[in-house]
Amino acid sequence: MTALRLLLLGPPGAGKGTQARILVEEHGIPQVSTGDMLRAAVAAGTPVGAKAQSYMDAGELVPDAVVIGVAEERLGMDDASRGFILDGFPRTVVQAESLDGILDRLGTKLERCVSLEVAEDGLVARLLKRADLEDRSDDNEEAIRTRMREYRTKTEPLIDYYRQKGVLVEVSGTGDVDEVAHRIREAVA
């Protein structure tokens, strides 16, 4: 049986969004990303969405409590009952612990955490190329390396967190999209 309640974990540029879209197409389950969740909650006018909007309007980061509330709303929707692909949430161990509580309340569990492994220099090159293609002058090497440091300090500890829970699988994120997708399929089968 294929795991259908997944978390894709990896540094910026590892291919999480691309691989999530492939899994969504193959399994007909939703991709649940922090940005999408926040925008949907705001558009739906939910109480948590209104809170998120107030922070976004002020140009501030949305606090964990609000992100967690939005995640709980989203994961409780009917289309996520068969499965989901988490992308960008959780980002910290505190958020992961909150996710555990959400899933407990929903009577389900995370089946796999797929950690996409790519060497940092390869990621920087990939992101610089993407910045050139998309004409994103703000995405320079310094900004990219800052995001990598942020990932290492805040999000990378999730690798050990999910390893200890016995759901972590590490997959090479190097190669073309189809190769990586094949590795993920094998890892979640």
Map out the domains of the chain as residue ranges. Answer: 5-183
**Mean pLDDT value of segment 127-136:** 85
Position 41 scores a pLDDT of 83
pLDDT of residue 3 exceeding 80: no
Domain 5-183, CATH class in plain words: alpha beta
Residue 125 host element (H or E): helix 120-133
Amino acid letter for position 113: C
Annotation says 91 is catalytic: yes
**Mean pLDDT value of segment 134-149:** 82
Share the mean pLDDT of the chain.
90
Identify the active-site residue in 105, 109, 129, 130: 130
Query: ∠ CA 112-75-164 to the nearest 5 degrees?
Result: 30
Identify the active-site residue in 21, 39, 91, 185: 91
Identify the active-site residue in 16, 51, 74, 183: 16
The span from the CA of 91 to the CA of 68, in Å, is 11
Identify the active-site residue in 136, 149, 152, 165: 136
In the chain, what percentage of residues exceed pLDDT 90? 58
Annotation says 126 is catalytic: no
Q: Give the tens place of pLDDT for each residue, 8-48.
A: 999 988 999 999 999 999 999 999 988 788 888 888 898 88
Of 109, 105, 74, the residue nearest 89 (C-alpha): 74
The span from the CA of 32 to the CA of 7, in Å, is 9
Position 69 scores a pLDDT of 87
Annotation says 112 is catalytic: no
